C-alpha cells in the first residue's frame, strides 16, 4: 500500500523543538562546563544548517525570526537556571522498549530526553524538554508518556528505588515533576493494552476536529477539510 504524501514535511514548531533538543543533548553529552556563547553558537549553526524555507508556519502573523529568537531565549533561560550542567546524567536520547503483556506481543518504544541516576539511592529522574505551553500539575499526574518511560527504566535497571518524572517547560522557564506508584504503573499498562486492542478492533475511524488540526500534515485529505482544498 502506497503511503499518503503529507501536505508538508515539518512545522516550524517541530523544527524549533528538534533544534532545542539537539542543543541540550550536545551540552549534556560533553560532560564539561559550557559558556553561554558556545551553547547559542551551537544552536545557531544547527538551525542554519538544517533550516528549509518550506517549513509550515500555521500562525501567519508570525515569521521564522520569531521562532528562532524564541529558541535563543529558551536556551538563555535554561542555561542561567541549570548551569554548570554537571550532575548525575547518565544518558541522553535513551531508547527504551516497554512490553505491555507477558507474551511480549505488544510493546512501545520511546526516547528519554535525559536520564539521571543517583547511585547512592538508585533513584532515577526522567527529564523531558517541552517547547509548548505549560501544563497543570493535574495533567502531569495523569501523563502517560513519561510514566511509560519509567516502566522501561524499571525493566532495564535492577533494584530501582524511585523514578521521578521531570518536565522542563522552556517557554515559561518552569520545571515540574510527578511520580507514579508501582500499582499505578501496572494499571497504566493494562489501560494502554486495552486502548491498543480497541483500536485494532475498530473498522471505521471518524475525524475528530480540534484546534490542533491546523498542524496536521494530512489536513487536505481529511473529510472535515477536503472542501477547503478543492
Q: Are residues 75 and 158 in the same domain?
A: no
Quote the pLDDT of residue 217: 86
Residue predicted with more confidence, 90 or 30 = 90
Q: Are residues 75 and 95 in the same domain?
A: no
Q: Give domain status of residue 207, yes or no.
A: no
In this prediction, residue 227 has a pLDDT band, given cuts at 50, 70 and 90, of: low
Residue pair 222/7 in contact by the 8 Å Cβ criterion: no
Name the β-bridge partners of 89: 116
Residue that finishes a domain, picked among 82, 116, 136: 82
Cβ burial, residue 204 (10 Å; 0-12/13-18/19+): exposed
Q: What confidence tens digit (pLDDT) does each residue in 108-141 have?
A: 999 999 999 999 999 999 999 999 999 999 999 9
Q: Are residues 95 and 197 in the same domain?
A: yes
- Contacts of the segment 181-186: beta carbons below 8 A, 24+ positions apart: 184/147, 185/147, 185/150, 185/151, 185/154
Q: Are residues 70 and 141 in the same domain?
A: no
Percent of the chain with pLDDT over 90: 72
Q: Are residues 73 and 32 in the same domain?
A: yes
| pLDDT at residue 59 tops 50 | yes
Q: Give domain status of residue 213, yes or no.
A: no
Q: Give domain status of residue 214, yes or no.
A: no
Q: Are residues 150 and 98 in the same domain?
A: yes
Q: Are residues 78 and 106 in the same domain?
A: no
| Number of folded domains that form the chain | 2
Q: Give domain status of residue 118, yes or no.
A: yes
| pLDDT at residue 66 tops 60 | yes
Q: Give domain status of residue 223, yes or no.
A: no
Residue that finishes a domain, picked among 82, 109, 129: 82
Q: Are residues 96 and 150 in the same domain?
A: yes
The answer to whether the predicted template modeling score (pTM) of the entire model surpasses 0.85 is yes
Average pLDDT, the chain: 92
Can you tell me the mean pLDDT for 51-64?
A: 88
Strand order, beta sheet including 163-169? 89-99, 107-118, 123-130, 163-169, 174-179
Q: What confidence tens digit (pLDDT) does each residue in 160-213 have?
A: 999 999 999 999 999 999 999 999 999 999 999 999 999 999 988 888 888 888
Q: Give domain status of residue 5, yes or no.
A: no
| pLDDT at residue 230 tops 60 | no
Residue that finishes a domain, picked among 49, 64, 82: 82
Q: Give domain status of residue 210, yes or no.
A: no
Q: Are residues 28 and 99 in the same domain?
A: no
Q: Are residues 102 and 195 in the same domain?
A: yes
Which residue segment(s) compose the domain that 156 sits in? 89-201
Quote the pLDDT of residue 49: 95
Q: Are residues 34 and 120 in the same domain?
A: no
Q: Give domain status of residue 212, yes or no.
A: no
Q: Give every CB contact of residue 226 below 8 A, 6+ residues apart in sequence.
A: 220
Q: Are residues 53 and 122 in the same domain?
A: no
Amino acid at each position: 500500500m502506497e503511503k499518503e504524501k503529507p501536505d508538508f514535511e515539518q512545522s516550524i514548531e517541530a523544527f524549533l523543538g528538534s533544534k532545542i533538543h539537539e542543543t541540550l543533548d550536545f551540552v549534556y553529552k560533553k560532560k564539561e562546563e559550557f559558556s553561554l556563547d558556545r551553547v547559542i553558537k551551537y544552536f545557531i549553526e544547527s538551525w542554519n544548517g538544517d533550516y528549509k524555507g518550506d517549513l509550515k508556519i500555521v500562525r501567519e502573523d508570525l515569521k521564522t525570526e520569531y521562532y528562532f529568537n524564541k529558541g535563543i531565549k529558551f536556551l538563555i533561560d535554561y542555561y542561567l537556571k541549570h548551569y554548570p550542567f554537571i550532575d548525575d546524567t547518565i544518558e541522553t536520547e535513551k531508547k527504551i522498549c516497554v512490553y505491555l503483556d507477558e507474551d511480549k506481543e505488544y510493546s512501545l518504544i520511546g526516547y528519554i530526553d535525559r536520564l539521571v541516576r543517583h547511585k547512592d539511592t538508585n533513584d532515577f529522574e526522567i527529564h523531558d524538554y517541552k517547547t509548548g505551553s505549560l501544563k497543570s500539575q493535574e495533567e502531569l499526574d495523569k501523563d502517560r508518556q513519561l510514566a511509560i518511560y519509567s516502566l522501561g527504566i524499571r525493566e532495564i535497571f535492577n533494584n530501582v528505588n524511585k523514578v521521578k518524572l521531570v518536565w522542563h517547560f522552556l517557554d515559561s522557564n518552569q520545571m515540574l515533576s510527578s511520580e507514579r506508584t508501582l500499582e499505578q504503573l501496572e494499571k497504566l499498562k493494562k489501560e494502554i493494552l486495552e486502548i491498543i486492542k480497541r483500536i485494532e478492533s475498530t473498522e471505521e475511524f471518524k475525524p475528530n476536529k480540534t484546534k490542533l488540526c491546523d498542524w496536521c500534515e494530512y489536513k487536505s485529505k481529511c473529510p472535515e477539510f477536503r472542501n477547503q482544498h478543492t
